[in-house]
Chains A and B, each alone.
Chain A
Amino acid sequence: MNDIWRMIGQRLLFGLLTLFVISVVIFGATELLPGDLARELLGQSATEETLAALRDQLGLNDPAPLRYWNWLTAALQGDFGVSMATKRPIADLVGARLGNTLFLALYAAALSVPISLTLGVLAALWRNSIFDRASNALALTAISIPEFFVAYILVLFLAQSGLFPSMVRITGSTTFGDQLYMSFLPALTLTLVVTAHMMRMTRAAIINLLANPYIEMARLKGMSPLRVVLRHAVPNALAPIINVVALNLAYLITGVVVVEVVFVYPGLGQLMVDAVTNRDIAVVQAIALIFASAYVLLNLIADVLSTISNPRLMHRS
């Protein structure tokens, strides 16, 4: 048992290290920015004095490692600096939107994970049947379609008739039920795309295992196909399935960007696209850091869970 804790500790440390490297990459990206940040902010007409004053104020004259340290420590306390485009603190811009984006991602996850795991197991159970082939072709199609296409199709069929709103407005007074209703179309879009991926990967993970001699053994012990899959294949497919789920939840995080734009959803993705358009680098950095952290965290959790699910690691001889 000590081994496994050491292993999990190692994973955690590695996750922290990854986060550190990511923050360096994200910060270092600014260093590559051609031109002078201060001039960019104040425009061509700015005088040398005002430029110098701003540089001083932004700490642009400090050496890069010092500026990185200041940026990181501030970011850890929730202070991401000031947006260049709106001149507002980034923390204020991000705050409420982060909650909205998380809500959307969780909403889609709650819909897609149970559906896709069930479908994946069924497709593996009835492999090469009509059900399997049809769901496989459908899933392949869903994967191949750009998210905005799915989104607009849904708008065309479900919003046009007034069934669901095609734009999402969330204010302080929106109730939870309203939020669920209004966010239904964006969540459904994400669900469709992610379910297809997850289902295919679950099916593949299980079918991969069915070639193992212990599956043949279970069949020769007279076990029913359902029992063979559920009792003999799925426990061994846990690690790949956990990774599949994590991978797709991580995908949800980035998938929201396009979907938020289509549905004018007040989330981080929308904010990021605006910031990229305005080349508002501080905002882009902040959001990239948040997204990347969530991504690393998810992978870390998956890593730890799949380690625990492996009896070879849990029960050393």
Chain B
Amino acid sequence: MEKQPLLTIRGLRIEGRSGDAWHEIVKGVDLTLHKGEVLGLIGESGAGKSTIGLAAMGFARDGCRISGGSILFDGIDLRAVPEAERRALRGKRIAYVAQSAAASFNPAHKLIDQYCEGPVVHGVMPREKAEADAVELYRRMRLPNPEEIGFRYPHQVSGGQLQRAMTAMAMSCRPDLIIFDEPTTALDVTTQIEVLAAIRDIVRQFGTAAIYITHDLAVVAQMADRIKVLLRGDEVEEADTRSMLTAPREEYTRSLWAVRSFARAEQPPATGTPVVSVRGVTAGYGAVDVLKDVSFDIHARRTVAVVGESGSGKSTAARVITGLLVPRKGEVLFNGKALPPNFKARSRAELRQCQMIYQMADTALNPKLRLRELIGRPAEMYLGLKGKALESRIRDLLALIELEPDTYIDRLPGELSGGQKQRIGIARALAAEPQLIICDEVTSALDQIVQEGILKLLDRLQSELNLAYMFITHDLATVKAIADEVVVMQQGVVVERGPKTELFGRPHEAYTDLLLSSVPEMDPDWLNRLLASRGEHA
């Protein structure tokens, strides 16, 4: 205790407004951070981690207010001093790096103008010096063309580079503390590595203290000295990174760690006519081919995971199967029979066989319809159920997705949690009694524990109902959990496909290799090892 901590938060309470009532979203959290230390804040959505991060700057978003506790930054009580004094600290001594750099850079100004704004307005250095400094920091962040990149507008720079430019901007006044708010969440895995490495290096070089906020355990393991786990505005536990990973004390923490352990039993190779067979499909919008000669099969009771980063064409493949996009070349066979390429030309029986579950349950369910109608409509349409029969079918479906029928049947989607909404999406697909269900990133908008529930449900339903799944995802952890076969796509081309065990087990195509090795692992040394093996300095 001989050293004065940089940041001391005691009994922090923050309230959020919903309608005209205030309720607590942060319920008395303590936090201590020393100079040059990196603290990881981890938790699921609604844990209050971003809110706490902003409170460390004495800032509360519109509709939130700090209602209790103390925030002491280097001896300054941030709650007691006037706003002007807090403003003088922000950007100068405490900086912030936001989740989406693309949205957080002002589209109207060049990067370097935005870099220089802080140092010049805070009176840290004059404009010319700040410009030279920017180039130096861009170089340290390993941005290409550090002399020129600052003179571009945000829309001219890629997402990964913007995130590094934003970190450079946060460094512009050499702050004592930086808040990183999920800085790599919006990036593809292969890009994430570069950004993580750059952030870690620069924080170490300048000895800056940091609060690193994320929901991804494997990421925080690489970045933080200590980890604090949060749940619904309360602290669960705090420990240094290694002991937290190896020996978590609390039940909740262990459950977070355990999510990634779910794995589906290995299946024998599939035989017979596939439910769906995509044959040599080339398709796209306008003159651009998004898919180039794509082929793969999906068998009954099997899950085929289609994996790739954004822009790989995996969702487009789903649109071709459903008939929303007519391919230029190739065809889609269903049980060995060619399907009409346009869904409008398909019969009801054909439409019924292939159902879809969407990524965003919020936009996939009509917010003005009750669950009774949402789930009941396909059953009514395709199976001709009416009255009592329909009612009991809706109740069966609700029971099937583990929601109590009496409680939920007359609710609106807005009255459900994210995981429950996704279950309704599943029930709606099941109501049609299909052979194939296309799952488009169905778990990526959900918290890890909820994800696991959905994956287990899907797995159970598959064996009970003989379903074939096409599982579109960018998340390789999910693939490991649920897939039987994997199709790897890159820029519209199938790079590699085969059984999961084979693909994860042997040496493979360069891109598959890159993709697989980029998935963070829950080992604090993983990033070091990876960078070393790729020949970059650690």
Contacts and interface: CB of A to CB of B under 8 A. Distances in A.
Given A223-B117, A311-B155, A315-B153, A214 B106 contact: yes
**Max chain A CB contacts within 10 Å: which of B106, B122, B155?**
B106
A31 interface: no
Contact of A312 (B96, B104, B155): B155
A2 interface: no
Interface stretch (B84-92, B127-135, B234-242, B377-385): B84-92
A205 to B, nearest CB: 14
A317 B157 CA distance: 8
A177 interface: no
B313 interface: no
Contact of A214 (B96, B107, B157): B107
Given A223-B91, A227-B121, A235-B106, 18 more contacts: A213-B103, A213-B104, A214-B103, A214-B106, A216-B98, A221-B90, A221-B117, A222-B88, A222-B122, A223-B117, A223-B121, A232-B108, A235-B108, A236-B108, A311-B107, A312-B107, A312-B153, A317-B155
Given A223-B121, A311-B153, A218 B59 contact: no
Interface residues of A, number: 22
Given A217-B96, A311-B155, A315-B153, A222 B87 contact: yes
B92 A222 contact: yes
A217 B105 contact: yes
Counting contact residues on chain B (CB < 8 A from A), the size range is 20 to 34
A317 B109 CA distance: 14
Nearest to B113: A231
Interface of A: 212-214, 216-224, 227, 231-232, 235-236, 311-312, 315-317
**Max chain A CB contacts within 10 Å: which of B90, B108, B117, B157?**
B108
Interface of B: 54, 57, 59, 61, 87-92, 95-96, 98, 100, 103-109, 117-118, 121-122, 152-153, 155-157
A144 to B, nearest CB: 28
Contact of B87 (A216, A224, A232, A315): A224
A221 B104 contact: no
A222 B155 contact: no
A214 B105 contact: yes
Contacts of B104: 213-214, 216-217
Given A213-B100, A214-B104, A235-B109, A222 B89 contact: yes
Contacts of B96: 217, 220-221
Contacts of B155: 311-312, 315, 317
Contacts of A311: 107-108, 153, 155
A227 B118 CA distance: 12
